[in-house]
Amino acid sequence: MSDKNQGWSQRTRLAQALGAMDETTRGLVPPIHVTTTFERDADNGYSSGNMYGRPDNETVRLAGSIICELEGGADAIVLGSGMSAALAVFHALAPGDHVIAPRVMYWALRNWLATEAVRWGLDISFVDCCDTRAVEAAIKPGQTKLVWLETPSNPLWEVSDIAAVAEIAHRAGAKLCVDSTCATPLLTQPLALGADLVMHAATKYLNGHSDVIAGAVVTAKQDEFWSRVTRIRREHGMILGPFEAYLLVRGMRTLDLRVRAACASALELAQRLEQHPSVAQVLYPGLASHPQHQIALRQMRGGFGGMLSIRVKGGEAAAIATAAHVTLWKRATSLGGVESLIEHRASIEGAGSPCPTDLLRLSCGIEDPQDLYRDLDEALPR
């Protein structure tokens, strides 16, 4: 898009993929660049800026540019998965560095931090990151180099105060990275609240169609730490393929519409399920009963996300039975797609999981919320 149109809304810029198109044919769909190598100039240089397909691909760059603009960052990279994106940040640290991470967070990353990261030499403290006093108490002066937040956190949907934690991290000389996968750039802007980095499992809402594995990291500034992150992506081969990048770009063009629909459904379901006789508790930041609702009101805009969890009366057996009897909701891992998913998380996470055994995680898609509620209502135990 031209400079004169930079005042257009996120929704408009997303719909047109920042105005990208095929300049050769004037086609409105950006092409997929699949070449793995590029010709040098006669003077032995690379005036195109492209040298080799691992770090250099225009389709991949376009995906990163869209995410970077959405987050208001200085630069962004896309990678082969959400885990690759997170690990690129952690590998940019040095052995002996101290990291503060949430006690409840994406389970695969939490498990990596508790096992492989420790073996590699990182010092990890799992903290209730909704409690800023607990975060401050966990700081190790001169050693803490990174605070990692996930907000809202999966699967309890707790909300951390990004601005307050950023201040704590920066006073200690540490960086703050926020996993904003479930909030998406449309609902929360971590960099504007003081975060240094934002991570997305782009597999989820950014792609939105359950057909791409991808990740992204956005930085507030291009400093030495960011140089290490990008170097790790390049040298470790943590890349996204051009076809996957094309699908990611295509998915992001409808991000605004999908997220709005998911947020509206999640809020309606949360309000109705909170009154359901078979539901002991609904966990959703948009409810006044949520312990961090006021923080969510302050730092989220346009909605509270498409994710919620319910705790079923009758315990684990009742929760598993509920998931077994739905027909419209799909029993599957993941979130953020156009189809609605239900999952008994404790079964997936296994021993050591902080997830209550009576909890079902719900990812709202774009179906009619009345149909989604009726399906749950008929499956819940009486």
List active site positions: 54, 106, 179, 204
How, if at all, do strands 307-312 and 359-363 pair? antiparallel
Of 154, 180, 166, 170, the closest CA to residue 102 belongs to 154
DSSP labels for 301-354? -S-S-SEEEEEETTHHHHHHHHHHH-SSSEE-S--SSSS-EEE-HHHHH-TT--
From the list 281, 277, 310, 311, the residue with the least C-alpha distance to 382 is: 277
Give whole-number Cα distances, 187 to 36, 71, 273, 305, in Å: 36, 10, 23, 7
Other Cβ atoms closer than 10 A to 178: 29
Report how far residue 158's alpha carbon sits from residue 168's, in angstroms, rounded to the nearest whole number: 19
Which has the closest alpha carbon to 23: 52, 50, 58, 49? 58
**Residue found by looking up tokens 């909701």 in the block:** 329
One-character DSSP codes across 29-48? SPPPP--SB-PPPTTS--TT
Residue type, 232: I
User: Comparing C-alpha atoms, which of 340, 341, 342 is closest to residue 368?
Assistant: 340
Helix H or strand E encompassing 162? helix 162-171
DSSP one-letter string for 216-244: EEEESS--HHHHHHHHHHHHHT----HHH
